[in-house]
Amino acid sequence: MPTTSPIDRGELLDVLVIGAGQAGLALGHHLARRGADFLLVDAGPEIGSSWRARWDSLRLFSPAQYDSLPGLPFPAPADTHPGKDDVADYLAAYAAHFALPVRLGTPVVRLHRDTDGTFEATTPTGTLRARQVVVATGPFQTPYIPAFADPLDPDVPQVHTARYRNPTQLPGGGRVLVVGGANSGLQIAAELAATRPVTVAVGTRPTELPQRIAGRDLFSWLDAVGFFTVPAHTRVGRRLRARGDLVIGTRTRDLRRRGVDLRPRLTGLADRTATFTDGTTVDVDAVVWATGYRPDHSWLHVPGAVVDGQLRHTAGSTDVPGLHVLGLPWQTCRGSALLGFVGADAEALAARLTPGAGTTDVPGRGPATPAVSPA
């Protein structure tokens, strides 16, 4: 006779974690150590699927010794830079090593809070109930493309970095316009420049730094001066946040030497012609949008949680009792959204979610086939 788990019978969880990426998994590790009754749900078909969907040549800026989640070192030599599939493999191995309860293929399409304070999460396979909820869906949610892309000639292919994989997606030989001068835009421009002419439209130019300085990886210098742990609420933290992200390893002066055409901010597209703030124009044969992401909280039906399109929180806790977030940029410090640094926020949040609970070492128990399950 078929059996159902307590979760499937609608019993109340201590904590429901929405998102089983790096933030959700790190939190799951700490919740398990504190004996919480919790579940991680993720819309993806496998753990790490969002990493596997990135472009083929993507490599981390951070060397392997800075890429570990709590309790399990990243399996790569120090000072090497893992690729995106290496990260996906590590996340899957992490969930299995600690036998974390993960339900895959389970997007939360609606979250609301009952009058008694209980949260109900509606998924395609049923409703989950929890006393507390952590939104760990990360900052990369809805790819953003400016409205002025609409007049572009329909015969000119365009792709957001969320869908870009490699140069074969774009017509060979024609000029490619890359819109955006942060890390992803410049990395992709450098890759494309090997096979075709490239123009990069750069708005606000971020600070550019080499990957290595004086024979050491940049991350070791930044870590030594406490860059990643600068609190967000301090004057230094506010200044760093206002200056935007660093561009690491790919420098515009090197791109110029390789023949890349650098222009100021893009202001419009008409047919095949791109126009920039300085009045210059260029005809293009394809466009790559490296224009970032926008949050999508349309599924969050919890009054008071979203203010001006953002989840308002203090160090991860919202104004709604029991509703928390994890893994956002500058949640508490510069490293809050980074693979090797999110663990500190996860540990602090786990302590708030389970007050008074002690911690117990939870060794890996091998593959967790029952725990990591489809919908």
Strand partners, 333: 231
Q: Are 87 and 48 in contact (CB under 8 A)?
A: yes
Q: What is the pLDDT of residue 361?
A: 65
Sheet holding 158-160, edge to edge: 158-160, 286-289, 176-179, 198-201, 261-263
Q: Same CATH topology for 12-141+295-373 and 145-207+244-289? A: yes
Query: Stretch 243-263: mean pLDDT, rounded?
Result: 92
Q: What is the pLDDT of residue 369?
A: 36
Query: Stretch 333-349: mean pLDDT, rounded?
Result: 95
Q: What is the pLDDT of residue 101?
A: 98
Residues 54, 32: Cα–Cα separation, whole Å:
30
Residue 373: pLDDT band with limits 50, 70, 90: low
User: In the CATH scheme, what is the homologous superfamily, with its name and number, of domain 12-141+295-373?
Assistant: FAD/NAD(P)-binding domain (3.50.50.60)
Rounded to the nearest integer, the mean pLDDT of the chain is: 91
- 362 pLDDT more than 90: no
Higher pLDDT: 368 or 246? It is 246
pLDDT in tens, 293-319: 998 999 999 999 998 888 889 999 999
Q: What is the pLDDT of residue 3?
A: 41
Residues 354, 43: Cα–Cα separation, whole Å:
26
Q: What is the pLDDT of residue 8?
A: 54
Q: Hey, is 211 helix, strand or coil?
A: coil
Strand partners, 371: none
End-to-end CA distance of the chain: 20
Strand partners, 247: 208
- 2 pLDDT more than 70: no
| 292 torsion bin: left (phi>0), alpha (psi -120 to 50), beta (else) | left
- What is the residue type of 168? T
Residue 367: pLDDT band with limits 50, 70, 90: very low
Strand partners, 18: 41, 135
Contacts of 355 (CB under 8 A, 6+ apart): none
pLDDT in tens, 193-219: 999 999 999 988 888 999 999 999 999
pTM exceeds cut of 0.85: yes
CATH fold for domain 145-207+244-289: FAD/NAD(P)-binding domain (3.50.50)
Of all residues in the chain, the percent with pLDDT exceeding 90 is: 81
Show me where the domains of the chain are located. Answer: 12-141+295-373, 145-207+244-289
pLDDT in tens, 81-136: 999 999 999 999 999 999 999 999 999 999 999 999 999 999 999 999 999 999 99
Q: What is the pLDDT of residue 372?
A: 54
Task: Tell me which residue has tokens 């090797």.
Answer: 340
- 358 pLDDT more than 80: no
pLDDT in tens, 208-248: 999 999 999 999 999 999 999 999 999 999 999 888 888 99
- 152 pLDDT more than 70: yes
Query: Stretch 20-32: mean pLDDT, rounded?
Result: 98
